[in-house]
Amino acid sequence: MNPRRIQILDAASELIAEKGFVQTSVDDVITHAGLSGKSHFYHYFKSKEELGHEVLARQFDVLGERGLAILRESTLEPMERLEVFIDSVVAIQAERGMRGGSPFGALATEMAEKDEGFRIRIARVFRNWTDEIARLLEQAQDRLEDGADPQRLARFIVATLEGATTMARMKRDASVMHGVASDLKRFVAGHVRRPAGS
């Protein structure tokens, strides 16, 4: 990707995280990126909406790749990896400036409703997570209770974390994420068979 384009995206990401998409103007981005004028901005982006689309796409790609890296961490046992993944989703949201929700959350929802390509991109992140968690649970199948379905359980885990993020944003209370994550880990533990004699 062109260095100037990356410079604009980085500047926009910082501003959106701080002020929100609506309050961030093209002029703000131009100033923050150190551009000499609007012609430089419009050479790389047709509109503020296109810029918002690309900022979010980068955010979700990073989020998706970090999540997958944790789920594939071979030095940890499968169920340990799952707990680290759940904790990481909470940490990533906090890292992105959550004060009751991610500053990108509302824009992501808006973009997904307006842009089918972006909706598909977000859906792919969640599908990849679900598939990877299902594979992880299949690796631990001998530890799961009889009748536990790895795919359904994986889908429930991802949906719960996504719902918790939305609830935290609506309530403007980041502790919602922590509470739901703790409850989710207890729920998953309820599907794990206790060692014999315990």
pLDDT confidence tier of residue 176, bands split at 50, 70 and 90: confident
**Could you tell me the residue ranges of all domains in the chain?**
1-45, 46-189
Phi, psi of 103 (to 5 degrees): -65, -15
CA distances from 26 to 19, 23, 176 (A): 13, 10, 34
- pLDDT tens digits, one per residue of 111-127: 777 778 778 877 887 88
Angle CA 163–129–157, to nearest 5? 40
Check if CATH label 1.10.357.10 holds for domain 46-189.
Answer: yes
CATH of domain 1-45: 1.10.10.60
What is the per-residue pLDDT for 104?
Answer: 58
What is the per-residue pLDDT for 133?
Answer: 92
**Token output for 177:** 């994420």
What is the per-residue pLDDT for 12?
Answer: 92
Whether the predicted model's global pTM rises above the 0.85 cut: no
Per DSSP, the three-state class of 192 is strand
